[in-house]
Structure 1
Amino acid sequence: MISVQRTGPGPLSPEATQYMVRMRDGVHLATDVYLPPGDVTPGPTVLTRLPYDKCGEYTFMPRIAAYFTARGYRMVVQDVRGKFRSEGETLLFVNEAYDGYDTLDWVVNQQWSDGIVGMWGDSYYGYTQWAAASTGHPALKAMVPRVTGTRLGELPVPIPGQRTHDVEMSVHRFYPLSMFHDRDILDWAIDWTRRPLAAQVEEFFTAVGSRSASYDLWFPHPVSLRRFPAGSPFDAPAVPVLMTIGWWDNCAPWQWSDHRELQRRPAWARNEYLLLEAIDHENTSHFAPGEAMSVETMAARYLDPAVEFFDVFLRGFDTVIPRVRWQLANTGDPSFRSSAVWPPGAAYEMEWQPTATDPSAATLAPVSAAGVAGPAGDVAVWVHDAADPVPSPVADPFGFLREFPDERHLADRPDVLVFTAAPVTVPLDLAGPIRLDAVIGSDGPEMDLFVRLADVAPDGTARLIARGQQTILNPGDAFAVTIDLGHTGYRLPAGHALRLMLASSDAPEFVPAPGTGEHRWTAAKTIPNRQCVYLARTRLTCTVL
């Protein structure tokens, strides 16, 4: 029996005036306007378009609006099409570009607007900024997309001729069944151990009496959604953009992908600024893991960078903003370092190689110019069984730092390979990208490779530094693959050691491969697969200072 809890819109804020703003096709979107106290003159506006309820407690938009308006900005907050008080079809991604354009048009025609607009927000309401930017609206003068990406939530599907792709996250298909099923938020739970998973979705549809258009477009035969019908945002006119990326944000790969795209385009590269924080997707800070999520406690680190950025690019202040500001985690010092580029100019690459096939003697050895000596045939083997997958370390991967668990228990599993380096004698500062180049093999039709890099303290505690994962199709006996572990700014203290962990599952955060080659949501049975990695042909590369 599927149990569903429905959350509708919160009460309208007495500080805002709600308007139903007409889009070009006649659909009206619910839009709150907050004005600075006692200020009736035209001025710059901050626009946020989100699907999580403009009046709800989760995003506390009235309090954020009060913060911006107290600093002289008008703020406009809008429920996206099909959500909460807005009209129209509830459908992921496809309407955000032109709805953003039409909303910008409406804003600049109000008597309180001076025709200058900036956009701000996290996650999906970071994506709506890129959607609006793709239209090239001339009023959009700056944006601050946080923990987001233009490919946010993009369903990983095989590309013809390509043998690797991203691993499917559980949230990929569950998001349109909870956040984008209809106007409300629907809270319910899938039993990830009961197969086929798709059968539970049909039970959910029966329970609520309706289907999800977004889910049906993605299953069973995925339709490529037109996120940017006006063209790629990277081909649109460049505007100043402050990219906030979290070291422990599970959505960071999409934002780092955007960063690479921006750097390939000179106009965007000149307008990009990076704010690299020791946070997760829910803005929990590594330096304050117990801090309650509220504007009152987080304002300085959550909103002040945006205010400073808008002051420069919306109001013309002459403040100098560094191109890159970044935090070095695990130092006890939350202050930001600055540099002209990322990684910092003094950074360089160091390599390590996993050695030994005996689990009791597996090590991670630094690679010198001469390399690491070891038998070319060294192969480490493990068995992936989707019926008993490696458990995800946290219950909520979006709020990873709320738990920030000790992961030493993963080393006790036979389906996790563990390689631990010797403790460092002086602190080692990681600052930049991390990757694993490996040659792997499997007797199954597909293979997921999960890579985790951890900090092992003298007492045995193991905390995650970075991670990455890929699905490999038809891996065969030997397939060369590169796993991107993202970027970090992290200090490994003296006496601590790096630990590399390899596995083929991380459930339920990621949907485990059934081992049969069938679709992960329709497979009714699972088959164990034998996986291997060729150690002499495997390298971990970290960027260090």
Structure 2
Amino acid sequence: MNSQRMYEVNVERNVEIRLRDGICLRADVYSPISERKFPVLLMRLPYDKSVSEAIGYMHPEWYARQGYIVVTQDVRGRYASDGEFRPFFNERQDGVDSIRWAKRLPQSSGKVGMYGFSYVGATQLHPAADCSEELTAIAPAFTNDGYYEDWTYRNGALHLAFVQSWATSLAPDIAIRQGDAEAAGDLLRKMNRIGERYDHLPLHAHPGISKPFSPFYYEWLEHPTFDDYWKQWDLRIEYDNIKLPAMHIGGWYDIFIEGTIRNYRGMSSRHPNQKLVIGPWVHYPWTALSRDADYGEDARNVVDHLQVRWFDYWLKGRDNGIMDEPSVHIFVMGDNAWRQEREWPLARTQYTKFYLHSEGNANSLSGSGTLDTNAPDSESCDIYAYNPLDPVPSLGGNSCCVPSIAPMGARDQRPVEIRNDVLVYTSQELTEDVEVTGPIRAVLYASSSADDTDFTVKLVDVHPGGKAINIVQGIQRASYRDSNEQPSPIEPGRIYKYEFHVGSTSQVFKKNHRIRIEISSSNFPLYERSLNSFRTDREGDYTDVKAATQKIYHDAEHPTHLVLPVIPRNR
């Protein structure tokens, strides 16, 4: 229980902030009623400052009661602020100007922190590279280290459900600002029904995504490789310049979990005072319930409590012990408990190869696919047909942003495991708990009858009753096997070795459970479908679709496997 003084709060609406180029942004300012000086917490968002991401955090007034001046600002071109909204383009310079403005507020103590999740996590990190001296500490949550890999694309495949649903969610405010009520109503209806149109082809001419009101969606499609358009926002080249304490917060089922981890690792390798907090959460809401899994009382939302401790230490100088704790705070699923660690990945990790085996018919739950740590000898490959007109449907996973229209969280995978285009490899029942905590890597030996295609991987926890819960999943577009910058077709029928990062997790496979790996060529609409023809544009339509014959090899020369980060349990 927080025993510190709670303040009454005064609220000023639409306070103007004039930027260096003359554009006026507007913010709501929540100030404790007192003669004292207080540190400032700044949130810059494109989702309406009147709401201020209250779906995840406590209301800004709650933070102000704790003794903070809270400034929630509409970014350029959104809601009450002037200018044109272009996602990503102005957040760095506008953020710097806003931070300096907040620091000079009459009641400010001179200490400024920032918080917010998703896009609002990025609005902290980008200006921090230019004003680490003015900014004291940040708490970027559920965000990425750039906007290409793990935001718009994943190993060459479009993050379809997220990109399309997010683009439509940004559109209604643009119409409202233009005074076009009819268009705004139409855009709201399209936003709520976008899930019904994920199957539309071609992607670059989508009837549910308006070019006048969502032009950025079509702009993203025009940049399918990691080119200069995306490199301008690559935070990995900025880590040396972000010299301030940061608490990186994420969720195992969040779309941006990999970027969250990369930000922590990149910044902690250069600067002290970094923390990493990861719960068993989807993008939002942050609760113990994740569709078909319940992670218990300890998995409830603890973010507000942690942020107050964080900012109390850095902005108020309160020695509350938070910096005496280990830097990594993870929720271990299966054990359903929080655990503190000193690094990521864990130093005691035993990277263990789990090999695929079968009699040549691992297709579906009825097949002969098995999984163990013994390398294969002489085994027949597994064969399946991938038809883009009938893709494997996504059940849960790491997407964003609304659970009702995007595949998110933990789901029972048996409805897709009955399909013959899903290869299923399952271990024997475990005789003891097996903890998998860290990054997971796939090594696939595969061929295709097409000159381009996708291969998907999923790690699954099989319960004694048969329930099969997805833990982490990944995808690799064949043409992007060597590079996200220069894709190239594959030779039909040739065996290629595909090595790629599947994802990160912390999961204990309990005694009597089984470990399962699924291999297929689609996970839709989490990711777009490959049409099985090499092209980098998104102009292909239904007449361009081709079926492909896929083969997964697991023999002595081609030992397909996953590398799992196994953690010894005898701590």
TM-score (norm 1): 0.85
| 2:356 is the counterpart of 1:337 | no
* Structure-2 residue corresponding to 1:317: 318
String of CA shifts for 1:377-419, please: whole Å, max 9, x gaps: 6322222111000011149943489763211122211111110
| 2:511 is the counterpart of 1:494 | yes
SS at match of 1:197: coil
SS at match of 1:39: coil
Alignment match of 2:370 (pick from 342, 363, 368): 363
In 2, the alpha carbon distance for the partners of 1:107 and 1:416 equals: 54
Q: Does the CA-based 8 Å contact 1:92-1:176 persist in structure 2?
A: no
* Structure-2 residue corresponding to 1:7: none
Alignment match of 1:18 (pick from 4, 14, 19): 14
* Structure-2 residue corresponding to 1:409: 415
* Structure-1 residue corresponding to 2:248: 243
Which amino acid is 2:373 matched to? P
Alignment match of 2:549 (pick from 530, 536, 540): 530
| 2:158 is the counterpart of 1:168 | yes
SS at match of 2:76: coil
Q: Does the CA-based 8 Å contact 2:38-2:109 persist in structure 1?
A: yes
* Structure-1 residue corresponding to 2:3: none
Q: Does the CA-based 8 Å contact 2:395-2:407 persist in structure 1?
A: no
* Structure-2 residue corresponding to 1:9: none
| 2:24 is the counterpart of 1:33 | no
In 1, the alpha carbon distance for the partners of 2:223 and 2:564 equals: 39
| 2:522 is the counterpart of 1:505 | yes
**Aligned-pair CA distance for 1:16:** 4.1
* Structure-1 residue corresponding to 2:564: 542
Pair 1:157–1:447, CA change in 2 (3 A): farther
Aligned Cα RMSD in Å?
3.1
Q: Percent identity?
A: 25
* Structure-2 residue corresponding to 1:389: 391
Q: Does the CA-based 8 Å contact 2:163-2:217 persist in structure 1?
A: no
| 2:380 is the counterpart of 1:378 | yes
String of CA shifts for 1:84-121, please: whole Å, max 9, x gaps: 11111110101000000000111111111111111111
| 2:100 is the counterpart of 1:105 | yes
**Aligned-pair CA distance for 1:20:** 1.9
**Aligned-pair CA distance for 1:46:** 0.9
Pair 1:106–1:61, CA change in 2 (3 A): farther
* Structure-1 residue corresponding to 2:436: 430
Greater mean alpha carbon deviation, residues 250-259 or residues 508-517: 250-259
Q: Structure 1: which 5+ residue stretches go unaligned?
A: 1-12, 159-163, 292-296
In 2, the alpha carbon distance for the partners of 1:520 and 1:67 equals: 45
SS at match of 1:178: helix
Which amino acid is 1:302 matched to? V
In 1, the alpha carbon distance for the partners of 2:217 and 2:452 equals: 24
* Structure-1 residue corresponding to 2:206: 200
Pair 1:167–1:463, CA change in 2 (3 A): same
In 2, the alpha carbon distance for the partners of 1:56 and 1:394 equals: 27
Greater mean alpha carbon deviation, residues 220-229 or residues 85-94: 220-229
Q: Does the CA-based 8 Å contact 1:53-1:59 persist in structure 2?
A: no
**Aligned-pair CA distance for 1:230:** 11
In 2, the alpha carbon distance for the partners of 1:311 and 1:155 equals: 32
Pair 1:394–1:73, CA change in 2 (3 A): same
Q: Does the CA-based 8 Å contact 1:61-1:77 persist in structure 2?
A: no
Pair 1:299–1:108, CA change in 2 (3 A): farther
Pair 1:424–1:43, CA change in 2 (3 A): same
Pair 1:290–1:47, CA change in 2 (3 A): farther
Aligned residues: 509
**Aligned-pair CA distance for 1:83:** 1.0
Which amino acid is 2:546 matched to? I
**Aligned-pair CA distance for 1:253:** 2.3
* Structure-2 residue corresponding to 1:5: none
**Aligned-pair CA distance for 1:364:** 0.4
In 1, the alpha carbon distance for the partners of 2:234 and 2:552 equals: 42
Q: Does the CA-based 8 Å contact 2:430-2:512 persist in structure 1?
A: yes
Q: Does the CA-based 8 Å contact 1:512-1:520 persist in structure 2?
A: no
In 2, the alpha carbon distance for the partners of 1:329 and 1:298 equals: 9
* Structure-2 residue corresponding to 1:459: 465
SS at match of 2:125: helix
After TM superposition, the structure 1 = structure 2 runs for residues 341-352 of structure 1, keeping only pairs within 5 Å, are 341-352=343-354
**Aligned-pair CA distance for 1:216:** 4.2
**Aligned-pair CA distance for 1:63:** 4.5
Which amino acid is 1:110 matched to? L
**Aligned-pair CA distance for 1:181:** 7.0
